[in-house]
């Protein structure tokens, strides 16, 4: 089995995949990202998760990690070294030889998750594509027909915007995001409804507007639009521009990258 780890700004996701005749997800667990969580503190939590899934540590033969938080990556690498005794494949700024093609001014600036998503798009035969990732930031990434990462757009994430409203405006309450299906309710009759409408329909309009602006360009007009990330389901009924939702896009990319580089890891 392969353990893949996606360290994001908000959460770290651990997922187990088997790869006998085909790649299959066995289990998936999410933990809030805390850069001060030590290597030893990961062990009891993950050990319990493995036990609940009837998996032993020795069943894991390979590990692949992508991280956008250096402090978290360091602690997880220490955890793996101590308890798994496996040399993990780490997707970071050193991407040479991993099969990732990056066509931007400074390739080292590209987030590991965005590169992994591009590789996943190629593996799923979905390229060329525009990938919208609903995470801490909302990102739009252009993936070429060959799976290359060709740049993109970074906007504030939905929850980040909600938190900013609450913190910056003294009289505005903290609200939770929820799907709004009735466009007739776009005008809020109270503060909470007005905030919900502003965030939800504001993001719908932003996403549709940016996709339209990208597709005006001839080279991108036939690109499929793929959504991923924890909040992708929240918007799917309101976004006609989305062709496909793949919540596990980063995890799929990680396990495929591991297998793609398996022979090099054994050397």
Positions annotated as catalytic residues are 113
DSSP state of 105: S
φ and ψ at residue 5, rounded to 5 degrees: -130, 120
Distance CA 212, CA 250 (A): 25
Residue 257 to residue 48: CA distance in whole angstroms: 27
Distance between terminal CA atoms of the chain? 19
> Which among 248, 260, 263, 244 has a CA at the least distance from the CA of 24?
248
Asked whether the beta carbons of 128 and 223 are under 8 A apart, the reply is yes
3-state class of 12 per DSSP?
strand
Sequence-separated (6 or more) residues with CB below 8 Å from residue 147 = 101, 118, 119, 121, 122, 123, 127
DSSP state of 107: G
Q: Report whether 182 contacts 200 (CB < 8 A).
A: no
CA distance 129 to 222: 8
Angle between helices 70-83 and 39-52 in degrees, nearest 10: 60
């Amino acid at each position: 089995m392969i353990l893949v780890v996606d360290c994001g700004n908000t959460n770290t996701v651990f997922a187990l995949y088997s790869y006998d005749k085909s790649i299959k997800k066995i289990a998936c667990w999410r933990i809030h990202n805390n850069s001060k969580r030590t290597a030893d503190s990961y062990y009891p939590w993950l050990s319990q998760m493995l036990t609940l899934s009837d998996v032993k540590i020795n069943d894991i033969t390979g590990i692949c990690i992508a991280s956008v938080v250096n402090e978290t990556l360091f602690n997880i690498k220490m955890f793996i070294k101590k308890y798994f005794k496996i040399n993990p494949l780490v997707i970071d700024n050193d991407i040479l030889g991993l099969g990732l093609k990056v066509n931007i001014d400074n390739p080292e600036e590209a987030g590991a998750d965005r590169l992994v998503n591009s590789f996943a798009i190629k593996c799923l035969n979905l390229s060329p594509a525009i990938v919208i990732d609903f995470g801490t930031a909302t990102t739009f990434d252009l993936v070429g027909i060959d799976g290359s990462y060709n740049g993109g757009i970074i906007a504030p994430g939905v929850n980040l915007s909600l938190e900013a409203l609450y913190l910056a405006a003294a009289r505005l309450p903290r609200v939770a995001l929820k799907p709004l299906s009735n466009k007739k309710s776009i005008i809020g009759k109270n503060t909470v409804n007005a905030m919900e409408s502003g965030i939800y329909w504001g993001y719908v309009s932003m996403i549709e507007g940016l996709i339209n602006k990208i597709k005006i360009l001839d080279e991108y007009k036939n690109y499929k639009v793929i959504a991923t990330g924890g909040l992708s389901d929240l918007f799917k009924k309101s976004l006609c521009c989305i062709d496909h939702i793949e919540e596990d896009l980063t995890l799929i990319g990680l396990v495929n990258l591991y297998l793609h580089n398996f022979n090099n890891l054994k050397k």
